[in-house]
Chain A
Amino acid sequence: MPEPTTATDEPEDAVLVARCRAGDERAATALVRRFAPSVARFVASLGERQEVEEVVQDTFVRAFASLDGFRGESSLGSWLFAIARNLVRDRVRGRASRYQVVPIEEGHAVTGHDALDAAVSDETERRLGEALDLLSPMQREVFTLRVSEGLSYREIASVVGSTDGAARVHYHNAMRAIKEFIDG
């Protein structure tokens, strides 16, 4: 998830949404730039690695096409994640295949954590990726949204169509499974 904006920083999401509704293309561009990386990470975590950019693009096209349906009851980010999730599911159904998880490549590391990256061994990195692969699809979605994007349980519940409590249980089960795999 993008870092929260302040009053002196870039416009808040709601402001950009209002401008986008009014046809301000620069506001639309700002929203894409703000959320595209997060949506891309989430899409990739769902196993869609080959056509991430297309899914992200389609997510925004659909979102902007139905902005009147966005009432602001959830965050814009969680709304986009929900759209992206549905798109990935549609694609998976369309292919009539299972999720295809592509191993994490070295070049995919987030650039903001270079120091930490250096401290994490290749073996640990590989095992972390493998640990994620072992999670159920729901655990993976919840864990990704919580750890990678920093969504609250309530926001996660709105994305995955669950409850806050269920999202919390999925998160802790995923955390436990990952720890067991790493320790094993």
Chain B
Amino acid sequence: MADCSRDDIRDLLPDLVHDQLEPEARARVEQHLAGCAECAAELDLLRAMRATAFATPDVDVDRIAAAVLDAMSAHGAPAARDDGGDDGGDDIVVSISAASQRSRGRTLTGAHAASAAHRARPRPARRPIPHHLRIAAAIALVAAGAGGYALTRTGPDSPLLPARHTAVAESGPAPSGTTREMSAQSGAAKAGAPVAAAPMAARDVAVAADSGADAPAPGHGHLILGDAVNELSESDMQALLQSVDDLQAMPDLEPHQLPLLASIVEGAL
């Protein structure tokens, strides 16, 4: 297939394929094509390539549009309007730019067109945490820190080591000389029985929320927190609760997920 010397005509052949020529240019090209076998063959080749070699991949345009809109709305773009006005446009650009910044450096993955939108979707607002659960979380946080501190202070030979058994003192007067030790796994109370396989958080901390609980006997090392919490001033408590709220890693607390902790705290209060 030879090349015609009329490059000016050949340059316009793709435009003819796409029907993008002005009438005058189109007439000029078609007039040339009538007498030029090379250009006619090249035109056929271009049409054949457009028809076969540049096939449209199988993509779901509607799904793409929906995912793009989700990504836009996820970052504060205002609702659709039909007036075509441009007021507020700057706000949109800013908010969408934030989406772009977050998505920079990543690519939308595999067959997760929907998940891409899901990732871009705004995270639901955190539900307010009930006050008693916030207090419970605060107590658990303080207990974990204090427990870790206590264990750090004790060496492997320390008599406090047995304290890794979970021990939670019930509110109210406890029977003299008794301490309820509870398996954090089953929640079942076993008086005086050491728990060998309790999770670490429960294993390392023993909370006696009632000030009337017996002082830990030597060798048990129970951590008494009840009075310490009760002695916090209102402002200190608020600061403590705020610090708990600010913890990004703190999961949303659901009442049904923490019945044991809730009952303990309610009892302590």
Contact = CB atoms under 8 A, between A and B. Distances in A.
Interface in A61-108: 61-62, 64-68, 87, 90-91, 94, 104-105, 107-108
A26 B96 contact: no
B27 interface: no
Contacts of A58: 103, 107-108, 116
A62 B100 contact: yes
A116 to B, nearest CB: 5
B48 A128 contact: yes
Contact of B54 (A33, A56, A110, A117): A110
Q: How large is the interface on B (under 10, 10 to 19, 20 to 34, 35 or more residues)?
A: 35 or more
Contacts of B93: 21, 66-68
A109 B72 contact: no
Contacts of A19: 84
B55 A147 contact: no
Contacts of B85: 22
A51 interface: yes
A157 interface: no
A109 B96 CA distance: 36
A44 B52 CA distance: 13
B65 to A, nearest CB: 4
Nearest to A88: B107
A182 B52 CA distance: 14
Contact of B61 (A24, A32, A179): A32
Interface residues of A, number: 73
B209 to A, nearest CB: 51
B72 A64 contact: yes
A112 B17 CA distance: 13
B48 A23 contact: no
Contacts of B67: 57, 61
B123 interface: no
Given A25-B80, A52-B59, A147-B46, A104 B52 contact: yes
Contacts of A68: 90, 93, 97
Contacts of A105: 55
B107 A120 contact: no
A129 B52 CA distance: 8
B14 interface: yes
Given A49-B57, A53-B64, A110-B56, A28 B72 contact: yes
B65 A168 contact: no
B113 interface: yes
B116 A57 contact: yes
Contacts of B77: 23, 25
B231 interface: no
B49 interface: yes
Contacts of B10: 172, 175
A124 interface: yes
A94 B89 contact: no
Given A23-B89, A57-B113, A61-B100, A108 B20 contact: no
B60 interface: yes
- Among B10, B68, B97, the one with the most A-chain Cβ atoms within 10 Å of its Cβ is B68
A9 interface: no
Interface of A: 1, 3-4, 15, 18-19, 21-26, 28-29, 32-33, 36-37, 40-41, 43-45, 49, 51-58, 60-62, 64-68, 87, 90-91, 94, 104-105, 107-110, 113, 116-117, 120, 124-125, 128-129, 131-132, 144, 146-148, 150, 168, 172, 175-176, 178-179, 182-183
22 contacts: A24-B80, A25-B73, A40-B57, A49-B57, A53-B59, A55-B107, A57-B68, A61-B67, A61-B99, A64-B68, A65-B96, A65-B99, A90-B107, A108-B55, A110-B54, A116-B47, A132-B49, A132-B53, A148-B49, A179-B1, A179-B3, A182-B45
Interface of B: 1, 3, 7, 10-11, 14-15, 17-20, 42, 45-65, 67-69, 71-73, 77-90, 92-93, 96-97, 99-100, 103, 107-110, 112-113, 116, 120
